[in-house]
Each structure stands twice: as structure tokens, then as C-alpha cells.
Amino acid sequence: MIAIQGLDNTNLDGSRCVLTIGNFDGVHVGHQRILATARKKATERKVPLAVLTFEPHPLAILHPNHPPERISTPERKLKLLEKYDADVAVVAQSCPSLLQIEAETFIETVIVARFRPTAIVEGHNFGFGKGRRGNGETLQEFASRWDYEVEIVEPVMQVQDDGAEVRVSSSLVRKLLNQGNAQAATKALGRPFELTGTVVEGSKRGREIGFPTANLLIEHQLVPAEGVYAGSTEVDGEHRACAISIGTTPTFDGQTRQVEAHLLDFSGDLYGRVLHLRFNRRVREQIKFDSIEALISQIQTDVNKIRNMQL
């Protein structure tokens, strides 16, 4: 896949394409359905599948005091778009001037001028242009003028733990992770949620009690609810099950939330390395123990439980 930073650098060598537009945070199963539909159409027409996405999230510009928490890092999002068969990904810089373009002008000056699509594939709730006043009907209104087809893809619906059927969306994934419901988030994403961070020096308490942990510095990404999770990561190409702890280390009266991972059956120096932690399920909530011995006993129980899971 070719990744292009900035609309001004977009050059599809004069060819047409099938285009889909969106933020694609998390590239969840709803996004995957859109990409699969667009991929099929692009293959049939023998043109590239192009994705136009935005960094940062437009809402981070429009509502800077309440930006949406990121599910995927920008780098991971591009890798996922490549995994789901995009040929070209154009990352437009979200800025007020771009976000204030009226919908009709956006079609002419961005969609048509930059991409010349033969088809545009979007989700049913797609919005674009100033105030998100443009939608699928707007695209359809100008389709004959600019010689493209529009296909609107039906949403993916999933049944939640309470029996309610809901539409899969990035907002739903964020909600599930903030509830600590890693299993439901996995279902909505089509794969385990992945948290990316750099291993930094911590308090070394884990090592002192026999369970060394990698302390991760997380920047600009959603951190799931506090608790102990069963997960996994890769080190030097090897799959490693791990116990992931998110919390303030209440037994030690900690104040700062930390993300720590104990890699099962691993010994080695990970300082400075980037780890991608995959979250499978939450094992338990964070609790304060009456003694260090009680904490050690519980950690051993957690590790044994995670070891017996097929991660």
C-alpha cells in the first residue's frame, strides 16, 4: 500500500479509483465491511482502492476540549488499512480551512480533483463538509455530473452482553474499552484491541516480588478501564502471553495510573522497546490487598489462569 501524507501530495498518476472516506479509527468490523465492498468494486473495475482519512480526528479540531480518545495510533491505522486491502491511503491534515469547506465544494475540489473516483463507497452515517451537512444523498446528487457511482454499505449490528443489538462504531469500541469489556471490544474490532507503548523504567516493585513487569509509556491512545487483563504481545517475533495491569497500584498507595505487562516465561531487557499489547479479556478489577503476601498470591493465581487460556 502507498501511504501519502497530505492532500497536496496526492497523485494517482491520472488513473481513476474506487474511493472511501472516513477517519477509520480502530478499523472495526463496520469499517472492514466498507473496505471489503470497495475492494470488490475496485477489483472488478481494475482500478486502485483509495482511502482518504484524517489526522488528527476532525473532532479534535472542532472540539479541542473534548477530543475522542484514539483507538489506534496513526501508524497502526495505516497498517490495518493495508491489511484490509487498500492500495492507497491519503492522510489529510485536519485543519479549520479543510473542515469548513461546504459539501458541494468538497466534492469538486477534493474528491473529484484529487481522486477522480469511478465509485465512492461509504457507510450509512457518513457525513462530510462544513457541519457534516454532506451525506450519501449529497454524493448521489452530484454523481452524474462528476461521473461516479455511490454505494452505501449497511452497518454491522452486534448483540451486546445485555441483549441489546447495537451498531458497531468507533464510539461503541471506546465505550466498551472504557468499561473494561475487552471481549466485546474484540468482537467489534474483529481482533483484540492493541495498546502501543514504549517500555520505560518503573518502580521495579514487580521484580522485587517475583513478577517483573514492562512499564509502558502510552501517548495519545485510549487506555482501557483499570483492571488485570489476559493478553499477549510479540517480542523478537515470538508470541508471549502476558498479564496486563492497569491501575494506580493501590496496595502501594500509588497515585498515578500505570500500564504494566508481565510477560509469562520471559526474561530479558525491554527498556526502550515498543510493545503492542493485545487485550483478550479482563480477569479481575484492581483491588487493594491487606498485605504484600496477599498481593503475591493473587498475582500467582492471575498468572496461572492466564497461562491456561488459549491466547
The set of catalytic residues is 260
What is the distance, to the nearest Å, from the Cα of residue 132 to the centroid of all Cα atoms in its chain? 22
Q: 62: Cβ–Cβ under 8 A, 6 or more apart, which residues?
A: 99
Q: Which residue has the cell 486491502?
A: 85
Q: Is the dihedral of CA 24, 28, 33, 35 positive or negative?
A: positive
Rounded to whole angstroms, what are the CA distances from 287 to 20, 203, 247, 300?
Answer: 45, 19, 9, 15
Spatial separation of the C-alpha atoms in residues 183 and 189, rounded to whole Å: 10
Single-letter amino acid code for the residue at 250: P
Cell numbers linked to 204: 521495579
One-letter amino acid at 17 equals C
